[in-house]
Structure 1
């Protein structure tokens, strides 16, 4: 695949999770203005309808749809993946949805630590279910919105039953995203599908930051860095990379531990009931 093979965004179909607020919403505005066909996800259908109306009014783009799913329920994540997988094409998957540092421990509807489920298991589930559809495109990309805040997983207490801490919950989920990124990239290497993760910017003015941390970066910076991974022709062959803003960077050392990555995949399959796809099952 060469950079000349990269299709313009106006010819691409892109799924953005967590599109009704913050970075996801701003990214949706940018990509809609560039003519992309967008599948936008959120958990609130009213906010979804408002977003579609706003995007259509401001950009004139009519190729927009909204999908509702609450990532606090594994069944809803799976259903979203299955609905999108039934479509004709998907060129880019942007796993952006997530929650920030929680003040108190919360459990999902499935009894799992909520941050790990929303910030990581949703990414795992959608990545697995949408791999066959992505593999049909010779130019597909997966962009996982992670964080520079990373903490190692203790596989004896991933749900933090013994000692819950909001920062640990968030940072271990974000590292898990990067570990998945590296595994998914290897699975799809040579098939024209790239998989990368990024820390878009530090402490942007979003609802998961405001009230807890001092804002340090603009939303525009985060959007620019994320959009670059979505559509920059110069990155058409870059895969399996963690970016800190616009530059390749070194993630936490656990991300490079192949045994721990394998343990994470096994745990993810156990928790979700969805196996990590095998290369022979993909379209050539």
Structure 2
């Protein structure tokens, strides 16, 4: 049994563990959605509610992860079968020319380990292409009382762990230290901004829609309500009202470029 064979098996077992861990996380989110819908089934009838759409996406993720687990498990079985001896001890394991056939099989096994569903592969490629770009990132933990979103720059995407390493180039004055900070965050904590040079292919949020937007003059994102759209204003800016932005008993309307506005995440806490 050669070292490359062992390395290949160990890599696939690590991939199997990662897939199972990801499945557990998705199942936790599915159970949360089930409890939410059981407690308040009428919520799905509210305008703008995306609970069912989110639940569908979670089931799609669970299905893809399960299929990937089956694929990797089959690859591991094939790898082990190729290494196990056949027949009595000392019997020649390979016939003339059989070595090349098994080598080709092993090469196919190695390529199969990266076989992912098209949607997952596209998502991974999209995140990998974000290197050097600014994105919105949630830097607080799931257990935090409030979600904090900041503008950060992507410096690396780890395809194995599916983590995005980002740089906060302008940390706030109240944060520890005065230098730049880096974070390693799961993909769910990253929201890409619309392309600045491609407004025609950017989703436009209608008036009354809740969004997450960069507050003018800062690198922080907050919940806001759309007052007017770029198309209606014939410009590249939204007119927004930010929550908790009251001045003299009223919410001022502020302009924000379309490429600094993203969809409000489900369950956002502010």
- TM bucket normalised to smaller: under 0.3
Q: Give the structure with the higher percent strand.
A: 2
- Give the TM-score taking structure 2 as reference length: 0.26
Normalising by structure 1, what TM-score? 0.25
